């Protein structure tokens, strides 16, 4: 195997890297991880880096794209149980070793922790390539919502071992970084998230859409956005809405998203608008046309929907963790409630549903906050973090070579 040969001058230049990015989800799949990665990859390419994207084949007719700064390599995958539309990649260590031996990337970044991600870390370490990782999903928390709570500890141990094999693990909040460090994670760095304030904007508000929802003039539309699944704590959303209706009979519940709980939600809240999956400007219009956003999930690593709602000028009620803990000041640009305080969550939701003026003021402040959370700054931070990891690994290699040389000379 060809040895790495870096000089100090090369390490200090404004480097353009060849980055192999391994992920088990990618657009057009609809989830926060896929959306975030697409933003990050676009930002890296704008900064002159080239990307080899390695992901599972999504459908029968899926074809890898080639040319320009983005080259795709498709791997085998199988459907993720009870999570329609997503796959996890099968182990591919040997093929990755062959691929990266033919054309060595400067750095490997592994975004997801499935079998494909694990073998990507192993292949990178075998070839002495710098490797970094993302922590996107609290899989150990998901297990309790899917009837396999006994897997929580083994999954947590697997994730810790996975990430500690990499040179750096990037997380979206300082709260999560502290939590993981307390669990024995090493080399954790914060790389936050941004929001597209052009797409998500109060200007997308549509009176026609509100009429379609049958919201009366002067009425209130309460929105929920996300996957309709147990881990999103939608039962609390529906209980909070029922309490709102006792004080605001003109309230309408609008649920954006799809998933295994759709039929149960339709039975429990038959008058709710089940809008299904929405994308792009249509999704942005659904945010902006609402008045109050309820987001009681306790399984997020970040929660991109929090920033999307704020950018849309919505008053958001959320628990005091993940994105909400980072950016929301209670009753200033949103509402935050102590984690797990269900009664407090319901009370805040009712309070804001009944206070039209306060809710509007909070929505305006939310928009101002979102305008300062720019994707370009986030992408710049991410690119700098990857460069640091690459340089750090290369300098460590140079030091080891120097020590071996000095030992041989003596």
Quick check: helix, strand or coil at residue 50? strand
Does residue 356 sit in the same domain as residue 248?
yes
Q: Where are the extended beta strands (E) located within 61-186?
A: 70-75, 77-79, 87-89, 107-110, 131-134, 169-171
Interacting residues of 333 by C-beta distance below 8 A, sequence separation 6+: 310, 327, 362, 365, 366, 368, 369
CA distances from residue 282 to 79, 163, 371 in whole angstroms, order as listed: 28, 37, 20
Q: At 181, give phi and psi (nearest 5°).
A: -60, -40
Rg (CA), the chain: 23
Q: 45 in a domain, yes or no?
A: yes
- Do 36 and 181 fall within a single domain? yes
164 with 207, same domain: the answer is no
- Output the tens digit of pLDDT for each of the chain's 410 residues: 334 444 444 444 457 999 999 999 999 988 889 999 999 999 999 999 999 999 999 887 888 888 789 999 999 887 766 655 566 788 899 999 999 999 999 999 999 999 999 999 999 999 999 999 999 765 545 445 444 453 668 888 899 999 999 999 999 999 899 999 999 999 999 999 999 999 999 999 999 999 999 999 999 999 999 999 888 999 999 999 999 999 999 999 999 999 999 999 999 999 999 999 999 999 999 999 999 999 999 888 899 999 999 999 999 999 998 999 999 999 999 999 999 999 999 999 999 999 999 999 999 999 999 999 989 999 999 999 999 999 987 665 554 444 455 555 54
**Shared domain check, 245 and 156:** no
Which residues lie below 8 Å from residue 95, measured CB to CB, with a gap of 6+? 75
Query: In which order are the strands placed within the sheet that holds 292-295?
Result: 273-276, 251-256, 220-225, 292-295, 315-319, 335-337
Q: Are residues 164 and 261 in the same domain?
A: no
Asked if residue 320 and residue 235 are part of one domain, the reply reads yes
* Same domain? 391 vs 346: no
Does residue 27 sit within a domain? Answer: yes
- Which domain CATH number covers 385? 3.40.50.2000
Q: Residue 100 and residue 330: Cα distance in Å, rounded?
A: 49
With respect to residue 117, please indicate whether it lies within any of the assigned structural domains.
yes
**2 found inside a domain:** no
Residues 213 and 188 placed together within one structural domain of the fold:
no
Locus of tokens 């003596």: 410
Q: Are residues 164 and 17 both part of a single domain? A: yes
* CA 206 – CA 229 distance, rounded (Å): 28
Examine the domain organization and report whether 253 and 165 are in the same domain: no
Cα 78 from Cα 284, distance rounded (Å): 31
- 189 and 299 part of one domain: no
Q: Is residue 50 part of a domain?
A: yes
The span from the CA of 281 to the CA of 246, in Å, is 33
For residues 293 and 334, the answer to whether their CB atoms sit within 8 Å is no
When divided into structural domains, the chain yields a total of 2
The full DSSP string for 237-264 is HHHHHHHHHHH-TTEEEEEE--STTHHH
* SS3 track for 343-387: HHHHHHHHHHHCCHHHHHHHHHHHHHHHHCCCHHHHHHHHHHHHH
State the pTM of this model: 0.84
> Are both 48 and 167 inside the same structural domain?
yes
Domain that includes residue 58, residue range: 8-194+375-409
SS3 19: strand
In a domain, 3, yes or no: no
């Amino acid at each position: 195997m060809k040895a790495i040969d870096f000089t100090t001058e090369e390490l200090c230049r404004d480097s353009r890297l060849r980055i192999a990015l391994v992920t088990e989800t990618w657009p057009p799949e609809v989830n926060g991880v896929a959306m975030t990665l697409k933003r990050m990859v676009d930002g890296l390419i704008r900064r002159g880096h080239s990307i080899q994207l390695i992901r599972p084949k999504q459908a029968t007719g899926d074809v890898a794209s080639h040319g320009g700064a983005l080259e795709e390599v498709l791997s085998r995958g199988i459907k993720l149980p009870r999570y329609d539309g997503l796959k996890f990649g099968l182990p591919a260590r040997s093929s990755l070793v062959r691929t990266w031996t033919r054309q060595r990337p400067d750095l490997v970044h592994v975004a997801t922790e499935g079998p494909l991600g694990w073998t990507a870390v192993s292949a990178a370490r075998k070839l002495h390539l710098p490797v970094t990782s993302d922590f996107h999903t609290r899989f150990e928390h998901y297990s309790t919502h899917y009837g396999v709570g006994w897997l929580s500890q083994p999954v947590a141990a697997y994730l810790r071992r996975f990430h500690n094999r990499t040179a750096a693990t990037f997380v979206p909040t300082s709260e999560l970084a502290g939590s993981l460090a307390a669990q024995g994670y090493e080399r954790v760095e914060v790389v936050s998230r941004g929001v597209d304030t052009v797409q998500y904007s109060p200007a997308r508000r549509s009176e026609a859409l509100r009429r379609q929802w049958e919201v009366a003039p002067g009425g209130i539309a309460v929105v929920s956005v996300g996957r309709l699944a147990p881990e999103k704590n939608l039962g609390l959303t529906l209980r909070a809405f029922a309490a709102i209706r006792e004080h605001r009979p003109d309230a309408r519940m609008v649920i954006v998203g799809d998933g295994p709980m759709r039929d149960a939600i339709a039975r429990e809240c038959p008058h709710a608008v089940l809008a299904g999956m929405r994308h792009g400007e249509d999704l942005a219009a659904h945010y902006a046309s609402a008045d109050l956003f309820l987001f009681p999930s306790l399984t997020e690593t970040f929660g991109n929907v929090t920033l999307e709602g704020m950018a849309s000028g919505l008053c958001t009620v959320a628990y005091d963790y993940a994105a909400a803990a980072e950016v929301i000041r209670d009753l200033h640009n949103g509402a935050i409630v102590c984690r797990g305080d269900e009664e407090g969550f319901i009370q805040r939701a009712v309070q804001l549903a009944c206070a039209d003026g306060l809710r509007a003021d909070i929505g305006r402040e939310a928009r101002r906050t979102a305008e300062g959370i720019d994707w370009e700054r986030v992408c710049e931070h991410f690119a700098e973090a990857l460069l640091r990891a690459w340089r750090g690994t290369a300098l460590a290699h140079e030091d080891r070579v120097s020590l071996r040389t000095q030992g041989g000379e003596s």
